[in-house]
Amino acid sequence: MQKGIIVGTLVSTRKQEALVGSKFMEVQLIKNNQPTKEFIIAVDSVGAGIGETVLLTMGSSARMALQNHNAPVDAVIVGIVD
């Protein structure tokens, strides 16, 4: 997984049916407690908000965090870091 900070949201009106209702967050990855130049758009699954440090799961494993295991999603926020 990766650690990151939520820096924004993303709105997409025209999207895949299976993504309707998903909350998209732009997350800046953090390595060794330093923000990086790497950004990921992730679906939130834990009620996280802008400015919070979160845990991201990517790839096929990200789908396992959603009710629909066949959603076309490759990055999900799975935890909020204390």
Q: Point out which residues bind a copy of itself (CB under 8 A).
A: 1-3, 7, 10-16, 18-19, 24, 26, 28, 31-32, 37-42, 45-47, 55, 57-65, 69-76, 78-82
Question: Taking the complex as a whole, how short is the minimal distance between the CB of residue 33 and a copy of itself, in angstroms?
Answer: 9
Among residues 15, 21, 70, which one has the least CA distance to residue 43? 21
To a copy of itself, the closest distance from the beta carbon of 76 in angstroms equals 6
CA atoms in the 13 A half-sphere facing the CB of 3: 10
Q: How far is the CB of 51 from a copy of itself (least distance, A)?
A: 15
CA distance linking residue 14 with residue 75, whole number of Å: 19
CA distance 51 to 48: 9
